[in-house]
Amino acid sequence: MRIEIWADVVCAWAYIGKRRVEKALEGWDGEAVEVVWRPFRIDPMAPAESLPMAEVLQDPVADAALQQCAPDMSPTENRVRVSEIAAAEGIGPRWGAAWRADSHDAHRLIALAHEAGGSALQNAVMEEVLRAHFVDALDIARPETLAAVAGRAGFPEGPKLLTSGAGEETVRELLLRGKAIGVKTSPTIVVGGEALAGAHAPAVIAELLRGAAAAAPRELPAEVERFRQAEALLDLGDPLGCLTLLGPLMQEHDDDRNVRLLAARAHFHSAQLGRARAGLEALAAQAPDDSYVQLMLGRVLERQGLPAEAAPHLRMAAAMTPMYEN
């Protein structure tokens, strides 16, 4: 069984959630469990150069951004409560982030650790990153901090990989995947298609695991899962994200009609009308009786300022499917 935990390393509840997942697994007697960490950003507008947290807490805009890791309480209440809870979970003794840091490179390091050594190495890196940020009060956006973190976790090749730019595409795709499946807060625990948002008590997490084990959901092929997530992003109004996830499918399955149609739709909704038109014209040539393709092609031509060329396609679409009639 795989547990995916979508979390931001600058969210205190992610560290608390990590401890609670570990406690839930201590008493777990079911099938083997693999914990995999996935990226989430609570503060995507964090500056490239970190700022002292003492200054940040006086900025209401930044404060509101940081509130995303505990949306049900004020930032002030969160800071007071979380320090007490962290102590109860055995995290410390010192507690509290000292920097508003961009977590992007830390997420890259965590993702690269999973690629290099699986969930065990990734978990070790995650622990060291969280400790550096919340206990040691270090700036985890600095390369030297992440190099030290990687060394302590047993991932000495990590710094070189970060310098090379590795992990950029992986993190970008994972963030889109999280958005596609509805992740909205840190941490969010996902098991067998069921999600649990927040750092819940170990008993609640264990119940989630029991439910997932009993359901035994059928695992979708990776290509199908990627396609569905790309489709979800388009439905969420993110056509560029959709195209990003579709990229590998468009290379490996460029003859798949569903992939090509979804790409054409995403090109249309991202105003890449030339690409949308080319894709839809090819689809229409292969299957002229596809009313939806005819409709989409007509809409694209209209957008391009070609009403005379659009009209035959729109009439054909309406004749085959009356609901498409203007």
- The verdict on 86 and 41 lying in the same domain is yes
- Domain ends where: 170, 200, 215? 215
- The verdict on 201 and 318 lying in the same domain is no
What angle separates helix 104-134 from helix 12-26, to the nearest 10 degrees?
80
Confidence grade of residue 203 (pLDDT, cut at 50, 70, 90): very high
272-292 as b/e: b if 16+ CB within 10 A: bbebbbebbbebbeeeeebbe
Q: Does residue 315 contact residue 294 with C-beta atoms inside 8 Å?
A: no
| CA gap 149, 54 in Å, rounded | 24
- The verdict on 209 and 250 lying in the same domain is no
| CA gap 66, 57 in Å, rounded | 9
Q: 48-63: per-residue pLDDT in tens?
A: 999 998 877 776 665 5
- Whether the predicted pLDDT of 271 surpasses 90: yes
Q: Which CATH number is 200's domain given?
A: 3.40.30.10
| CA gap 246, 264 in Å, rounded | 11
- The verdict on 168 and 278 lying in the same domain is no
Q: 63-97: per-residue pLDDT in tens?
A: 565 555 556 666 667 677 788 899 999 998 888 89
Q: Quote the pLDDT of residue 105.
A: 98
| CA gap 100, 127 in Å, rounded | 19
Beta pairing, strands 34-39 & 51-52 = unpaired
- The verdict on 242 and 294 lying in the same domain is yes
Structural domain of residue 284, as residue ranges? 222-324
Confidence grade of residue 254 (pLDDT, cut at 50, 70, 90): confident
Q: Quote the pLDDT of residue 74.
A: 63
pTM of this structure: 0.90
Q: Which CATH number is 236's domain given?
A: 1.25.40.10
- Domain ends where: 215, 240, 274? 215
- The verdict on 291 and 306 lying in the same domain is yes
- The verdict on 211 and 229 lying in the same domain is no
Q: What average pLDDT does the structure give for the chain?
A: 92
Number of domains in the chain: 2
- The verdict on 260 and 180 lying in the same domain is no
- The verdict on 112 and 157 lying in the same domain is yes
- The verdict on 78 and 181 lying in the same domain is yes
- The verdict on 35 and 177 lying in the same domain is yes
- The verdict on 227 and 210 lying in the same domain is no
- Domain ends where: 182, 215, 248? 215
Q: Does residue 203 contact residue 231 with C-beta atoms inside 8 Å?
A: no
